[in-house]
Amino acid sequence: MNLIHIVFLRELRILMRRMKMDNFRELLKHVDRSYDGFVHAVITYVKTPGNEKKKALIENFILSTPEANSSEVLNFLIEHTGFSDTVDGDRKSRKAVN
């Protein structure tokens, strides 16, 4: 495989990840009572290193519970993914810097 093929495959993987994230973002936007802060928080959470696999868990919850609103999705995140631990850790980090 030559360098052009390697670069092409790398760019293709990046594009596919971006498309998947765009689809996930649209799914979050269509959750009942969705708002920009909710979408941003969930996207940021799943992009955090170590949380990538939790995206599928969140997607499955939303797809299997289409009547769930944004508060119920956030409760699911807190109960099943360690979301509140991440938020608390971020707050402590920011306080230490300030």
Q: Is residue 3 part of a domain?
A: no
Q: Provide the 10 A C-beta neighbour count for residue 76.
A: 17
Range of the domain at 70: 19-97
Tens of pLDDT, residue by residue over 17-66, are 778 888 999 999 999 999 999 999 999 999 888 887 898 899 999 999 99
38 contacts 70 by C-beta, under 8 angstroms: yes
Structural domain count of the chain? 1
pLDDT surpasses 50 at 2: yes
Q: Is residue 12 part of a domain?
A: no
Q: Is residue 28 part of a domain?
A: yes
Question: Residues with Cβ < 8 Å from 39, sequence gap 6 or more?
Answer: 25, 28, 29
Tens of pLDDT, residue by residue over 67-97, are 999 999 999 999 998 887 655 444 444 444 4
Q: Is residue 65 part of a domain?
A: yes
Q: Is residue 75 part of a domain?
A: yes
Matching residue, tokens 């969705």 = 34
Q: Is residue 30 part of a domain?
A: yes
Q: Is residue 89 part of a domain?
A: yes
Contacts of range 54-58, beta carbons closer than 8 Å, 24 or more positions apart: 54/81, 55/24, 57/81
